[in-house]
Structure 1
Amino acid sequence: MRHIDGQTFNQARPQPFMLSPQDQDNGFFDVARVSSDISFADFCDSYLTPEVPVVIEGAGKNWPARERWNEEYLHKKLAKEASASAASLWYWLNREALVEDYTTPPFINQCLDSTAAFPRKKHLRLWINKKGNVSRWHYDSTFINVFNAQITGTKDWILVSPDTPIDCYPFTTFSIIDDRGDAILKDKIYTRFTLNEGDIVYIPPVWFHQVTASGDESINLNWLFTKKETTATSATLKREVERYIINDYLTKHRFKVIRHLANQFNKYAPAYAKISWHYSELIKTPYTTTRTDLLKRFATEVLLLGKTLRYVNNIKSYTKTLSKPRKITKI
């Protein structure tokens, strides 16, 4: 059944990746590329429902933002924008912000407005990065789907399938910063590509990615949403479900001291380490999680402490290299 009403995303079972014969040995695949006039129905059938990444070429090629946006221009605009706030690495905005500079593609609006998606207070993230800034391996929490538009500059992307996960810091969505470089891609299903000005990449839930700003100044606009239900299955999706169930159990534990410790952790931990589900119900997935599954997950995460400690010094050196947003002084 096709997805034409914008209300139901998951009516088809996902299909496995078909790698070309020459790529099957190392797991590489070419990311799909489509034109900006793709219909919502085709986008759902081919990419949104099976949760497959795709580059939508030329979607923002005529946006005034491509000529207007730089850090100084945006800093002045954000000072006047009531919804703007600085996060650790980006700015948060409402959907209506800065709309004089771009036009949200119809298929994105249909995703954000669908009753099959959880409601959000803020749908937009704005990134401003200098050349060489690297967003190291991670996947986004809360099962978010991301449309990432390249407004200025370029970024080099590597995506790794959630079927071939990368070791993360215990109970987080950030991969352990080791010294393997591209060797981390061995035995992974992955793609790499450059996102050019005016293009948008769709990043499905729980896909690992590493992104390097290759233009002098790279500015990106993201639209975010979380589906209420998914038919996709993967090792990482299963981990994410178990991560939230364990957190819910600990934050509601019958012993006050355990509840307190779990809640204090989520209150004071850095953003990348927090485990917080923002909605009243958990996303529906094909998984049925047992107590044994949760005990295995807990043990697996604890065992990663050894690898974490081995490379703990890499965390501080990496954070020093990150482009952080300037403070917004409201007018």
Structure 2
Amino acid sequence: MSGDNTHTIATVTAAPGYAEFLEAYCDKEQPLLIKGLAKNWPARERWQSGRLRAELHTLPKVRDRGVFFVSRSPVLEQDIEMPEFLKEILASDRIMQDSVAWRFWINSRNNRTEFHYDTNAENVITVQVKGRKEWVLVSPETPLPCYPFTNFSLLKDEQRLLRNKRFYKFDLEEGDLLYLPPHWYHRVVAKEDENININWTFTKRETSVISKEFKRDMERCGLLHSFKNSDSALVRRCYETAIRALPNVGGIGWGLKSFISSPYKPSRGTLVSRFFKELLQIPNTLLTLPNVRSTLKKVDKT
């Protein structure tokens, strides 16, 4: 560990078994980098940006989400060799089946995804098929300030944002696999002319990891759920207006059929406190909102 709180991410050169992955990483929600796991995948030869983009547009299972492609069932299986531990996870009853997704990212050099964490307490397995990307991961125990009720960090100077935070900074190189646990903030920059990633998402049915960001996420999602389903038409209209105005990455609320189970049960008083804590970010939101709009416009589109 250095004085700037940069840590070294756990790194291995061979995929762990299912039990080891669960015990050492998934259950504890700690990141893992597997070097060279996909070095022999057929996709490394077959996938070219233009050709892959065109093929994904023709597949009936695949949806174009604007910045990435997503499928809720397997596609292009002949081009990859999914690690055994991931096969077992996706087939298990430990996860919410409506959370499973295959996602494809096709980016050019310098494309930048700003700091955020994935909604729905998603676990992400991502493989760098082509190119190289620089990642920064920030621990949910030292969370970043966010726009009100969102998973999207305030757009501020990165050096200031990372001050006194626990974080990893590293390159995900061609053939590498990264396990990104829930609620870890991440910022990603594409470093090559052609950058292609495939990733898989899943949400565990339950967790015992109660980080600072987990608590905030459960509180904000609980509030948003109550606003969305309020008996008051005025409250519902205010909620819909606010959601349209707020910056977000991959959604704002909880999009799955059920919430993750955990020992943390916020009280009504805690939820009221959370509401006012989120409102305190409104001045920062107004100051940086023009930057948000211009930043999101620069992101590569599918």
TM-score range (shorter-chain normalised) is over 0.9
Question: What aligned pairs does 1:2-41 form with structure 2 within 5 A after superposition?
Answer: 20=1, 23=2, 25-41=3-19
2:159 — aligned with what? 182
**Which of these residues, 21, 24, 49, is aligned with residue 71 of structure 1?**
49
Tell me the distance in 2 between the aligned counterparts of 1:45 and 1:214: 33
Moved more, 184-193 or 103-112: 103-112
1:310 — aligned with what? 287
Q: Does 1:157 align with 2:135?
A: yes
Displacement after TM superposition at 1:126 (Å): 0.4
Counterpart contact for 2:119–2:251, Cα < 8 Å: no
Counterpart contact for 1:29–1:190, Cα < 8 Å: yes
Amino acid at match of 2:26: L
Alignment CA distance shift 1:200-1:187 (3 Å): same
Tell me the distance in 2 between the aligned counterparts of 1:290 and 1:28: 35
| Secondary structure at 1:210 match in 2 | strand
Q: Does 1:128 align with 2:130?
A: no
Tell me the distance in 2 between the aligned counterparts of 1:274 and 1:204: 18
Displacement after TM superposition at 1:290 (Å): 0.8
Amino acid at match of 2:290: N
Query: Which stretches in structure 1 are left out of the alignment for 5+ residues?
Result: 1-19, 326-331
Displacement after TM superposition at 1:321 (Å): 1.9
The C-alpha deviation readout for 1:104-159, integer Å capped at 9, x for no partner, is 11111111121110012751110001000110111111100000100000000000
Counterpart contact for 1:252–1:259, Cα < 8 Å: yes
**Which of these residues, 80, 85, 96, is aligned with residue 102 of structure 1?**
80
2:186 — aligned with what? 209
Tell me the distance in 2 between the aligned counterparts of 1:269 and 1:113: 36
Alignment CA distance shift 1:72-1:196 (3 Å): same
2:235 — aligned with what? 258
Amino acid at match of 1:31: I
Amino acid at match of 2:115: W
Counterpart contact for 2:107–2:196, Cα < 8 Å: yes
Tell me the distance in 2 between the aligned counterparts of 1:289 and 1:95: 35
Q: Does 1:83 align with 2:61?
A: yes
1:220 — aligned with what? 197
The C-alpha deviation readout for 1:145-183, integer Å capped at 9, x for no partner, is 0001000000000000001111111111011112x2323
Tell me the distance in 2 between the aligned counterparts of 1:268 and 1:274: 12
Counterpart contact for 2:150–2:248, Cα < 8 Å: no
Aligned-pair identity (%): 34
Moved more, 301-310 or 274-283: 274-283
**Which of these residues, 90, 111, 124, is aligned with residue 146 of structure 1?**
124
Displacement after TM superposition at 1:264 (Å): 6.1
| Secondary structure at 1:237 match in 2 | helix
Amino acid at match of 2:13: S
TM-score, normalisation: structure 1: 0.86
Moved more, 136-145 or 88-97: 88-97
Number of residues paired by the alignment? 302
Tell me the distance in 2 between the aligned counterparts of 1:260 and 1:146: 33
Alignment CA distance shift 1:324-1:192 (3 Å): same
Alignment CA distance shift 1:69-1:124 (3 Å): same
Alignment CA distance shift 1:102-1:204 (3 Å): same
Amino acid at match of 2:141: D
Amino acid at match of 2:10: A
Alignment CA distance shift 1:201-1:273 (3 Å): closer
**Which of these residues, 206, 214, 235, is aligned with residue 237 of structure 1?**
214
